[in-house]
Chains A and B, each alone.
Chain A
């Protein structure tokens, strides 16, 4: 069965459109990583307080997770940033889009939360590392794992269809020399470092 050119173009286009935002996120993020740009906002964007019933006999790790669960804040807790004395316990909950700096008064259970939203560009960049698995994330955010898998599969399909279109309808001898040469150069750079 011979597939028509118009049909191949349609599939290539739809597959490409499906992956376009994901590709943009990765391309942008690659530039950010390669040049070490710091895009994160450092200013506090929201602040709130609440009172919790706390078991202050708990170790830092268990206590921080208890507070995190009670506040329903998603993210990872960097244990090396724990600060605790007789009165206060400070820690941070972080993920790709937001930081929460949490200060707990161990005497009266008062908890203050400073939220630092990292900003649109930093979050867009953060999608590069996001796989849907953030502790405490909602089911919606977990669905990213499916989207990511699907996007990669569709991307491969789009790429193969594009190469088929080129090979069947648009190939020239000089393409093979030039891009074959560039492929060899790329491999030398990649394997040479």
Chain B
């Protein structure tokens, strides 16, 4: 493959920097993915942590005061469920890696019951793998951005890696064999899944 020295250096840098920029997230996905594959060994345990009833005022449910209320009561994370039952009971759920909160507001909105569970380290790592989408507090947006960056970096690794291989190694027979066999196996698996 013909390539100027400058282009080669640029591609090499992209390959290296893509890895170094996202290596923490990449390793987290690798470790948590392995733990998910062996979930019988890396068992997730949930322990009830909080169960308390707190009196509230109707104004506490307004957006700004509600955020303050959540902070004061140590409720963190993303709002995952918000529903009103037929009797007027409001249920709000929040989730953060390793911790889940359920808030039950009684129909006359005079008190809220806060229940929470905490997970062991396996549960925290498992939850980190499952975080996705641009929703919730600012850090969650940054997390989602890191997911996108890691995904793009992974695509860049592969593409730049293939280009570098074509440039660097003279004997390409082994490389082609490995690449084509891998692609063929994945392609055949997809074919059997789709047919």
Contact = CB atoms under 8 A, between A and B. Distances in A.
Interface of A: 9-10, 13-14, 16-28, 30-31, 33-36, 95-98, 117-120, 123-124, 126-127, 130-131, 138, 140-141, 144, 147-149, 152, 155-156, 159, 162, 166, 170, 175, 179, 182-183, 186-187, 189-190, 192-193
User: Chain B interface residue count: which class?
Assistant: 35 or more
Nearest to B17: A179
B189 A144 contact: yes
Contact of B175 (A14, A27, A131, A187): A14
Contact of A166 (B16, B30, B142): B16
B133 A20 contact: no
Interface in B178-194: 178-179, 182-183, 185-186, 188-190, 192-194
A18 B164 CA distance: 15
Nearest to B78: A193
Nearest to B181: A18
Interface in B137-195: 137, 139-140, 142-144, 146-148, 150-152, 154-155, 157-158, 161-162, 164-165, 168-169, 174-175, 178-179, 182-183, 185-186, 188-190, 192-195
B25 interface: yes
Nearest to A153: B34
A29 B100 CA distance: 26
Q: Is the interface of B mostly helix, strand, loop or mixed?
A: helix
B48 interface: no
Given A34-B132, A183-B24, A124 B190 contact: yes
Contacts of A98: 193-195
A69 B37 CA distance: 27
A23 B4 CA distance: 28
26 contacts: A14-B175, A17-B165, A17-B179, A20-B182, A23-B154, A23-B157, A24-B154, A26-B29, A27-B154, A33-B133, A34-B132, A34-B134, A35-B133, A97-B190, A97-B195, A117-B195, A127-B190, A140-B189, A140-B192, A141-B192, A159-B26, A162-B16, A186-B22, A189-B142, A190-B24, A193-B97
B175 A182 contact: no
Contacts of B140: 193
A189 B143 contact: yes
A159 B18 CA distance: 12
B114 interface: no
Given A33-B132, A127-B190, 14 more contacts: A17-B179, A19-B182, A23-B158, A25-B186, A27-B151, A27-B152, A30-B151, A98-B194, A126-B193, A138-B192, A140-B189, A147-B185, A149-B37, A159-B30
